[in-house]
Every structure is written in C-alpha cells, then in structure tokens.
C-alpha cells in the first residue's frame, strides 16, 4: 500500500515536534543539574570560608595568649627588680614601667576575652551551619541522582526516536523534505497547522482560495511568516 505523501510529511513534522519537546526537556534537566552542582559548590565554599575564619580566630587567640605570657614574665621581672633597687629614681622608673605593663596586660586580657567570646560564638554558628548544610547537601545529592537517572532514560528515548526518525524521513517526498530541512535551520517550527483560518504561528489570515487548496492537502507558504502551512 502506497502511503499518502501528505500524511507521511505531516507525520514527520509531528514526530519532530515531539522529539524537540524531549530535547527541550533534556536541556531543562541539564540546567537543573548544573544549578544543583553550583549549589554544592557554594555549600563547599561556605564550609571552607567558615573553617578559615575559625582558624584565623584561633591564631589570634594563640598570639594574644603568647603576648599575655610575655607580659606576665616582664611584670614578674620588673617586680623582682623593684625589690632590689637602691635609689628612689630607679624605683620610680621601674614603678612607671610596671604600671604601663599592667595597663597593657588589662587591655590584652579584655581583648582575649572578646576573642574567646567571638570564637565560641563562631563555633556555635558553624555547628548550626554544618547541621543545616549537611541536610541540604544530602537533599541535593539525592536530587542529583534522580536527575542523572532521568537524564539517562531520556537520552535513551531521544536516541531511539532519532533512529526511528530516519525511517519517517525516507518516506517523505524529496522536495518537501529538503525545503523542510532548510527551514529548520532558520526557525524551530517551520511547518504549522492552520487554525481558525489563520497561520497558527503568526496569525496571518488565510485567503479563502488558499484555504480551499489547503483543505485538499496542498502545502502552502504563509504570506506573513513564510512557514509551510497545512490543514487537517
């Protein structure tokens, strides 16, 4: 049985529309996959920055504790020497040095207390962040696995449809197939149906005589957008 050329051509066009929808779905899934991977990268970057801040605070605490230890040693030395001086002038000089050291020590003590408070707060916040981001990370990994499975299945379906498309394309008249292929390079949907006596793509009204020809399964170009029109 010889197939109707019009029917085989419209079958190819309809098949391509379904194939494009699958390809668009694939692009959407890939975009979602990229977004999820970016989310994972952001979570990892946040963790690295938080740990770096904790390390910096610990270094500041360690340095200040060393400074305080040195101040304590200097104070002990000055106080020991104070008991050994022989003149009022030496005594006054050492006393002034001790007062300065004590002032510096009080400032260092206050700074260390503030640093310890900041470190403890940061550790508390970081622990909450780790807990929250761990849940989010697990959810993202789960979603990524689902996406990868969906993508794999979709790729198989697209590959199968592309193989079957060759069979449909062969059945289509050469002149129509060539024009269709050429127009596909310029517009996604080069062949569209007539709806309500108008082009369904640009809504250009179809003349009555052209409409009659289309009803006889003749293919015509739209005078508005130059797409191929057909009537079902």
For the chain, what percent of residues have pLDDT higher than 70? 99
Instruction: Tell me the two tokens of residue 83.
Output: 């008991």
pLDDT of residue 1: 42
Query: What ranges do the domains of the chain cover?
Result: 5-191
Biggest CA pair distance of the chain: 129
Say what the pLDDT of residue 140 is: 96
One DSSP character per residue, 116-174 reads HHHHHHHHHHHHHHHHHHHHHHHHHHHHHHHHHHHHHHHHHHHHHHHHHHHHHHHHS-H
Report yes or no on whether pTM surpasses 0.85.
Answer: no
Q: Please give the pLDDT value at position 2.
A: 47
pLDDT reported for residue 176: 86
Distance CA 191, CA 198 (A): 13
Alpha helices by DSSP H, the chain: 5-82, 88-171, 174-184, 208-215
- Give the domain 5-191 fold: Helix Hairpins (1.10.287)
pLDDT in tens, 93-107: 999 999 999 999 999
Give the residues of the chain that fall short of pLDDT 70: 1-3
> Tell me, what's the pLDDT at 3?
65
């Amino acid at each position: 049985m010889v197939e109707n050329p019009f029917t085989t051509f419209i079958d190819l066009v309809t098949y391509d529309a379904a194939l494009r929808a699958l390809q668009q779905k694939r692009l959407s899934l890939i975009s979602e996959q990229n977004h999820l991977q970016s989310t994972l990268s952001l979570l990892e970057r946040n963790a690295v920055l938080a740990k770096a801040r904790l390390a910096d605070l610990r270094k500041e605490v360690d340095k200040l504790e060393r400074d305080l230890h040195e101040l304590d040693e200097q104070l002990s030395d000055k106080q020991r020497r104070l008991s050994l001086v022989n003149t009022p002038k030496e005594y006054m000089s050492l006393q002034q040095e001790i007062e300065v050291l004590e002032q510096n020590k009080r400032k260092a003590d206050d700074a260390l207390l503030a640093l310890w408070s900041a470190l403890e707060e940061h550790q508390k916040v970081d622990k909450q962040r780790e807990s929250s981001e761990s849940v989010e990370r697990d959810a993202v990994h789960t979603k990524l696995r689902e996406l990868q499975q969906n993508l794999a299945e979709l790729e198989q379906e697209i590959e199968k449809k592309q193989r079957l498309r060759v069979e449909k394309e062969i059945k289509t008249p050469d002149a129509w197939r060539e024009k269709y292929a050429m127009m596909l390079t310029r517009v996604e949907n080069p062949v569209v149906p007539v709806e309500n006596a108008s082009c369904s793509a640009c809504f250009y009204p179809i003349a009555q005589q052209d409409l009659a020809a289309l009803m006889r399964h003749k293919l015509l170009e739209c005078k508005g957008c130059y797409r191929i029109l057909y009537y079902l």
